[in-house]
Amino acid sequence: MKSPKVVRHPIIIFIALFIFFIGQPKEFGKDTAFFHGFPIKKPIIRVSLGINLTDIQVSSSGGMKVYEVKPDYRLLADDVQEVFIKGRQEKLSEKFLIQVFRTEDEREAQRFAQTLRSQLEVKVYVRPVRGKERLFQVLVGDFMTRGDALKFIRVLLDHGYKEAWIITEDISDHHSRPLWILVGEELKSLNDETTLYFIPSHPRSFLSFRGRSYRGIFVLQSSRKGLVLINILNLEDYLKSVVPSELSPYNFPALEAHKAQAVAARTYALKNKGEMASLGYDLGDTPLDQFYKGMNAEHPLSTRAVEETKGEVLTYRGRLIDALYTSTCGGRTEDVENIFLGPALPYLRSTECFYEKQKEWLVSSSFNLPPIFVQGRDSRPAIAELMALGVLSPEKKEISWYSQNVDEREAQSWLEKAVKALGREFPESFASLSPQPLTWGRLGQLVGLAFRLEERVKELYPQTEQSYLIDKFPGWPEEARACLIYLAPSGFLDFNQPEGLSPDNPVTRGELALVVDQILSREGDYWQKGVFLRQEGEALVVRAEESNQEISLPLKEEVILVEKRSESRRVVSHLHLLGGEKMKWIARDDQPSLYEFYLPFPSNVLDRTSPYRMWQVRLDREELSRRINRFYPVGELIDLLPLRRGASNRVIELLIKGSATEVRVKGLRIRRVLGLRDTLFVIDREYDTSGQIQAFVFTGRGWGHGVGLCQVGAYGLALSGANYREILKKYYHGVKITRLYK
């Protein structure tokens, strides 16, 4: 009895293996998948580049092959550069559902649904929430218009169901249109359900769509939402675009921050892979999933970050985490359940966005200037800049010296040094001047001659504009008019009150300094720019903007320090720096003579460099009322009252009071309903003469949902010396960094 089993066993194995290999799709191989000979390394991801498309144009850098699949493969074109497709588009319309309840317990959801059915005799069903583990929603519907859904929300509110939320879904109304493809001069009609493969002719070629270039291949196929174009490529190549798209390497050029972003983005992609399988792809290319802009977005810094973290993901108790991240957390991230109204996840807890090991550097200088005011303006920054450029001597610090009148010979010396500071030649026609007092009319002539303003005014300013400006300065000599026209738009010359500046008035040294500085500021390209990283001994370590490399700049005792905050600039003797401050400097003979630091926001929070660290939005009450009524039928908006705040002080429950009803809105819905950048805000009210609220003013911090990794905070951590592992473990609690593949 055992003998026949021994004989048949190899046959069974052979048949099983034969069926296994015959049944494999076109993708096969241990490390690489092949699509008609085109290799793509595993793991592979499928990214939607557009849904419900028509009039599609695909091109290739080095030729491509086009296959028709239905289900057999047929070669339509071999080694073509460009293909046009006229696609069948679905006529989409919407239906509306109302989410009434969410819970982690499916049985609880079913009980809730049954109670709702018995009370209201309405269609109710339970389904899992897309992309959320162990989370179920109770839905009421379907409603064919938003108005119908809003009316029923009113019914739900009257029955005590305060958490109703409208969900919009697309439905398709198919209407047959042929699928056409133009290859060269030949127009071909294809089957309505045809799938097209676009395969680069060479492994190093790339495909393009809508002005963006992509690695991998394209697949165009039908779905319930119309034609969808899918980019199939290696996951690591996908991340080379996602990382710089999500965290700009130009604004936040720190390798360790980009490595943290790479691990988070890789985890998110693998965790959510297949969520849109019903439409034929894994993820979309918009920020609703992860921002993906193809090869156009790739940057050497981000590419290096992806390569140095290859295969690394975040896990909690052996499972991939939901690696949420936000742009700017405003000083503290929030507990996930307070924003997304799902289960509390132990790794997505509120985290204060500051660094315990934060270093602070005191940058000092012995250089100082007493207060020097010219025409009511603090002229110290202008004078310091002229000193740094060599136009003025650093020894000229007496206040009285700048209030004295200047003569023509001295002015000529200033102008010659200023022209040379721009790297230009001083006009030979400029004769040696006498020591007679300099007047404003004469200064206009000399400045026009020194900087060759007459030609540029003639070519760049329309005659009507010239006349408009000149008419404001009657009595000035013809030779000075080019200077007047040039300086008037800067605001230095007040042409609304020209009687205060006669061409015969004498010019002081302080006034001459402001004129020369105005011209140099408009003409000069003598600044070098970068980001301050740290201080090492008597040197500043800076990431230079031009080379994107770290450089060391000497910090001499007498160097000029300038602090810039918003629109003000002032000369200072010392500065407290944390790293990440934008800066620029002037160098003479390759030695920095002036450092200017931009300090817009005095703070030690890690996302302090974000442009969204603070914001304010004013919304008219009527305008806001219309917006809210798209979500809830509250009638005329009466007031907004924050009821609860989370660990980060974000508003996590908001009472909206209306003339018809009031509703309580929770979590991320608050941001959607109000249309704000974040839910970390306070509310001020403006009242009209009758005492009614006229507008709401929201003053807030942050941008995004506020959960998980703070992207700008990660940049701040990297500048403070943290590596990507420290960054990730700060924002994701209790996680492990695991390498899935090499």
- pLDDT tens-place string over residues 672-709: 999 999 999 999 999 999 999 999 999 999 999 999 99
Task: Tell me: cis bond preceding 43? Omega within 30 of 0 counts.
Answer: yes
- pLDDT higher than 60, residue 599: yes
Q: Out of 216-220, 376-380, 631-635, which region has the weakest mean confidence (pLDDT)?
A: 376-380
In this model, does residue 28 exceed pLDDT 60? no
Among 441, 383, 369, residue whose Cα is nearest residue 414? 383
Report the pLDDT averaged over residues 512-528: 90
Q: How many angstroms separate the CA atoms of 546 and 531, rounded?
A: 11
How many C-beta atoms surround the C-beta of residue 476 within 10 A? 21
**For 213-220, what is the mean pLDDT?**
95
Beta strands in 111-225, from DSSP E residues, in sequence order: 124-128, 136-143, 165-173, 179-183, 186-190, 195-200, 207-209, 212-214, 217-223
Q: Has residue 521 got a pLDDT over 60?
A: yes
The secondary structure of residue 422, as a DSSP letter, is T
The number of C-alpha atoms within 13 Å of 326 and in the hemisphere containing its C-beta is 32
pLDDT for residue 64: 93
Classify domain 91-173 at the CATH class level. alpha beta
Distance from C-alpha of 706 to C-alpha of 650, rounded to nearest angstrom: 9
Q: How far is CA 35 from CA 66, 111, 566, in A?
A: 12, 49, 55
* pLDDT above 50 (res 653): yes
Are the CB atoms for 564 and 427 separated by under 8 Å? no
Check whether 1 has a pLDDT greater than 50: no
Residues facing 217 on adjacent strands: 232
Closest CA to 233 of 29, 65, 46, 25: 46
In the sheet that holds 124-128, the strands lie side by side as 124-128, 136-143, 91-103, 165-173
H or E stretch covering 149? helix 146-158
For 496-518, how does the pLDDT look when each residue is reduced to its tens digit (9 = 90+)? Answer: 554 557 888 899 999 999 999 98
For 145, other C-beta atoms within 10 Å of its C-beta total 11
Nearest C-alpha neighbor of 359 from the set 535, 164, 181: 535
pLDDT band at 88 (very low <50, low <70, confident <90, very high): low
Provide the pLDDT confidence category of residue 29 given band limits of 50, 70 and 90. Answer: very low
Alpha carbon separation from 73 to 65, 197, 438, 659, 741 (Å, rounded): 12, 9, 87, 63, 32
The answer, yes or no, to whether the previous bond of 620 is cis (omega within 30 of 0) is no
CB contact at 8 A, 69 and 195: yes
Q: How many residues does the chain have?
A: 742
What does the radius of gyration of the chain's CA atoms come to, in whole angstroms?
Answer: 34
Euclidean distance between the first and final Cα of the chain, in Å?
49
Q: Is the pLDDT of residue 190 over 90?
A: no
CB–CB of 138/124 below 8 Å?
Answer: yes
H or E segment to which residue 232 belongs: strand 226-234
Residue 14 has pLDDT above 50, yes or no: no
Q: What is the H or E stretch that residue 540 is in?
A: strand 539-544
How far, in Å, CA of 256 to CA of 263, rounded? 11
Q: What pLDDT, on the 0 to 100 scale, is given for residue 177?
A: 53
Question: What integer is the mean pLDDT of 435-445?
Answer: 91
- Within the chain, what is the greatest distance between any pair of CA atoms? 127
User: What pLDDT sits at residue 523?
Assistant: 86
Report helix, strand or coil for 435: coil
**Who contacts 8 (Cβ-Cβ below 8 Å, separation ≥6)?**
none
Return the pLDDT at 480: 87
Helix H, strand E, coil C: the string for 370-414 is: CCCEECCEECHHHHHHHHHHCCCCCCCCCHHHHHCECEHHHHHHH
Within a 10 A sphere around the Cβ of 336, how many other Cβ atoms? 24
User: Domain residue spans in the chain?
Assistant: 32-89+176-310, 91-173, 615-700
Q: Quick one: angle between helices 440-450 and 408-421, nearest 10?
A: 30
* Closest listed residue to residue 97, CA positions, set 49, 57, 149: 149
Residue 132 CB neighbour total at 10 angstroms:
16
Encode pLDDT of 99-154 as tens digits.
888 888 888 888 888 888 877 877 888 888 876 667 888 888 778 788 888 888 88
Residues 6+ apart with CB under 8 A from 161: 100, 101, 116
